[in-house]
Amino acid sequence: MKLESYWLDSGERFAGAEHGPVPVRASVVVVGGGFTGLAAARTLAMAGADVVVVEAGRIAGEASGRNGGQCNNGIAGDFAALTSRFGIDRATAIYRAFDTGVDRVEAIVAEEGIACDFVRNGKLKLADKPDHAAKLARTAELLSQTVEPGIRLIAKADLPDEIGSDAFHGGLLFPRSGSLHMGRFAAGLAGAAVRHGAKLYENAALTGMERLSGGRHRLTTKRGIIEADAVLLATGASMTGPFRWLRRRIVPIGSFIVATEPLGPLAQEIMPGRRNGTTTRNVGNYFRLTADDRLIFGGRARFALSSPRSDTRSGAILEAGMRRIFPQLADARIAHTWGGIVDLTADRLPRAGSRDGIYYAMGYSGHGTQISVVMGEAMARIIGGAPAVDENPFHAIAWPAVPGHFGPPWFLPAVGAYYRYQDWRH
């Protein structure tokens, strides 16, 4: 078993990074080489901007290359609550942004010829308890009348057509969702940005930022100093660097994943519908099949950050959960175990905007693949002069600091205990 992301291990590593120090000047510097930064760099370069991406590690080496491989539409929370908070028009715009994100991933894959196994396989939300099935039915009624007319409620008796497990009490099918190989998409997106004129630097962690007269910015990186007219922070839950204001508003939390060896005929037995599976518990699971019939199975197994020791312990918990849901996999071998850091916001909504002349987009809260791409492109257009109110559905949403949070998330064990209690009660 490898303690390494299946996506990063099985995909070709991006080989187009620049060597040597960063240039002295650029029109735009993008900080972060995940999907947000790469999508922004591609869009900026296509518009003729002189754009440089600085990444602390390897391209897509963090959340973008360490997730569950799902590209789902739909929001993290409840649409009725979102409507109550913002009104139907703003709530619909937020919901539609996730739809657009899936569309944009599919379009980029086609436009750039990226071989990453993209497919519109749909998301199946599965009820862990009978009461959860009733809640899914209410959700289906609301969404079908507003933002998701193609949604389909699946009764427990009909679940065997979709999933070979007796663990669930019904499901809700979102047909517009997709899946893809994250490592290959990242390498393809990075290669596309370079072909259009962007310069990408790995191992170039940002260590300092200074605003100069005239609105320019001086950035100090581990590969030199660069000045820029505009800066986009696309760092996610970075826990190092000069990001204190953002760090107080982002809670880094671990999400952990295992991947089996190819399952052969068992793949069709456990997931005949080949959907992206998610469960309804607060401390739930998500899973899908790969193109070569591995099961990717993840979840918040422990409320902790990712590390080799933490990934190993979490992987054992996930393996047990996988075998509980799919007893057919009693003898299936785990080939990869890994963890990643989710950039969680208190309300689980992304944030994008500008502060003190610095642009940012992050806080995807575990739903980042699709929204990171669409927001990277949107922020690139805003930097180019497009009105923020037209491009950014998260424009001007208040973003207060998390009380008592100044860096390391010391409160994660308490949060985990609370959500497990809620799962036991409801």
Residues 115-158: pLDDT tens digits? 999 999 999 999 999 999 999 999 999 999 999 999 999 999 99
What are the strands, taking DSSP E only, across 212-282?
Answer: 217-221, 224-233, 251-260, 276-279
Give pLDDT, residue 318. Answer: 96
Beta bridge partners of 296: 259, 288
Characterize 411-421 residue by residue with b for buried, 16 or more Cβ atoms within 10 angstroms of its Cβ, and e for exposed.
Answer: ebeeebeebee
Supply the DSSP string of 310-327, one letter for each residue.
HHHHHHHHHHHHHHHH-G
In this prediction, residue 421 has a pLDDT band, given cuts at 50, 70 and 90, of low
Which range, of 149-153, 345-349, 403-407, averages the lowest pLDDT? 403-407
Above 70 in pLDDT, residue 3?
Answer: yes
Q: Are 253 and 342 spatial neighbours (Cβ–Cβ below 8 Å)?
A: yes
What is the pLDDT at residue 230? 97
Q: Give the single-character DSSP code of 117.
A: -
Instruction: Give strand pairing partners of 131.
Output: none
Q: Predicted confidence band at 31 (pLDDT cuts at 50, 70, 90)?
A: very high
- CA dihedral (16, 17, 21, 27) in degrees, to 10, reads 90
Q: Percent of the chain having pLDDT more than 90?
A: 87
30 close to 52: Cβ distance less than 8 angstroms = yes
Contact at 8 Å (CB) between 151 and 173?
yes
- Domain spanning 6-415, CATH architecture: 3-Layer(bba) Sandwich (3.50)
- Nearest C-alpha neighbor of 306 from the set 259, 258, 340, 342: 340
In this prediction, residue 400 carries a pLDDT of 96
The end-to-end CA distance of the chain, in Å, is 36
Question: Rounded distance, CA 420 to CA 426, Å?
Answer: 10
Nearest to 36 by CA among 343, 253, 247: 343
pLDDT reported for residue 138: 96
- Look up residue 87 and give its two tokens: 């009104």
Per-residue confidence (pLDDT) for residue 410, from 0 to 100 = 82
Per-residue pLDDT tens for 63-110? 999 999 999 999 988 999 999 999 999 999 999 999 999 999 999 999
Give me the chain's average pLDDT, please: 95
Counting DSSP H helices and E strands in the chain, the numbers are 12, 18
Please determine, for residue 321, whether its predicted confidence score (pLDDT) is greater than 80.
Answer: yes
pLDDT in tens, 263-306: 999 999 999 999 999 999 877 899 999 999 999 999 987 778 88
Predicted pLDDT at 304: 80
